[in-house]
Structure 1
Amino acid sequence: MSAHSGDELDIDIKEQDRFLPIANVARIMKKALPENAKIAKEAKECVQECVSEFISFITSEASDRCQQEKRKTINGEDILWAMQSLGFENYTEALKIYLGKYREVNYKDRKNDSNWQRERGRPRFAHTAAAAATATGSTATNVWRSATTDGWILQRKHVK
C-alpha cells in the first residue's frame, strides 16, 4: 500500500505523465555525446523537463490553431506552423523536409508491408532520419535532436 493519499497519488501520476520517458531522453542525450561521456541524473531530469515543456508549448499553440479552425486533430503542418509562429523558424525548413521524408517512408512501408500494423504500426524511424539527414546535409543525430515532432498525428487531450 502506498504512503500517498489518493489525491496525492493522482497528482504524482499526472505530473509524471507530462514528461517524456527518462530512458528515451537519456538515450538521445547519449547519442549526441562521446561514447565515454557520463550524464548525471540531474542533467537527464532537467533535459526531460525542458523537452517536455517545449513539446507542450508547441502543441498548445498548434491546438489553439486547430480549435480556431474547428478541427480535432493536430497534424504535422500544425506543428510546423506553431514553431514558425513562436519564433522557431530556424528549425521549420529542416522539419518540413523531415516530415516529407517521413511520410514518404511511412507510405512505402504501409504499401509494401501488409503486416505493418502488427509491427506496432510505426514506420522505421532510422530510414526516415537518414533520408532527412541526407536531404538537409545534416547527420541523423542532428535531425533526431531537432525533430521534436516526427510527423505523428497527435490527438488533442483535454486535461482538467
Structure 2
Amino acid sequence: MSDHEGHAGGIPGSDEDLSLPKATVAKMITELLPNDVTCSKETRDLVIECCVEFIHLISSEANEICEKESKKTIAPEHIISALKHLGFESFTSEVEDVLKDHKQQQKDREKKVSKFEQSGLTEEELLKQQEELFAASRAKFQSAQQ
C-alpha cells in the first residue's frame, strides 16, 4: 500500500520500495541549479519519482531486448538499444562515454591487484610494512607537536 504521494507502505520487495538516496539527489539538484534558485522537498521527491520511473522504463525495455536475444543477463548494449528504441538517442553518446570510463576503471583496478601479486609479499608482510609506516608517521607527527 502507498499513500497519495507514492511512499512505500510496507510491502517488501514491491516497486514502491524503489527509490534513490534523497541526500544525493538533493546535492545533484543544488549543484545543477543557479545559486539563487532553491528546490523544495516536494520537487526533490518528484524528481526522484521521475528518475525511478525512467530507470524502470529503460530496464524493462532492456529486459525485453535481452529476452529476444535469448540472453539471461542485461548487458550495457541492451541499455543502449533500449534508449534508442524509446527515443532517447541523445543520451546514448554520454552513456557510451560513461561505459568506456567504467571499463577503464575496471582495468586500472585489475592492474592494482596484479601489482599486489607482483610484489611477491604475503598479505601479512604487507600489513607489517603498513604498520611500520604508520608508526613512523605517528612518531614524526608527535615530534612535530613537541
Residue 21 of structure 2 corresponds to 21
Residue 88 of structure 1 corresponds to 88
| CA drift at 1:15 | 4.7
Q: Percent identity?
A: 34
TM-score normalised to structure 1 length: 0.58
What is the aligned partner in structure 1 of residue 131 from structure 2?
Answer: none
Q: Provide, for residues 14-72 of structure 1, a one-character-per-residue CA deviation record: whole Å limited to 9, x for no partner.
A: 35422222222212212212346432000101100001000100000000111122222
**Which is bigger in relative contact order (C-alpha 8 A, separation at least 6)?**
1
For 1:18 and 1:60, the matched residues in 2 are separated by 14
Bigger shift: 92-101 or 53-62? 92-101
2:27 and 2:47 map into 1 onto residues whose CA distance is 12
Q: CA RMSD in A?
A: 2.3
Moved over 4 A (4+): none
Match of 1:9 in 2: 10
Within 5 A, what are the aligned runs for 1:123-134?
Answer: none
**1:11-160 residue pairs with structure 2 within 5 A?**
14-35=14-35, 37-113=37-113
Gaps of 5+ in 2: 1-8, 115-146
Tell me the number of residue pairs that the alignment of Structure 1 and Structure 2 aligns: 107
Name stretches of at least 5 consecutive residues in structure 1 with no aligned partner. 1-7, 115-160
Give the greater-gyration-radius structure (CA): 2
Higher fraction of helix: 2
1:94-140 deviations in Å (ceiling 9; x for gaps): 221221122112221232147xxxxxxxxxxxxxxxxxxxxxxxxxx
Q: Against the structure 1 CA distance between its residues 15 and 97, is the aligned structure 2 distance closer, same or farther, given a 3 Å change threshold?
A: closer
State how far apart, in whole Å, the 2-side matches of 1:109 and 1:84 are.
31
- Residue 125 of structure 1 is matched in structure 2 by none
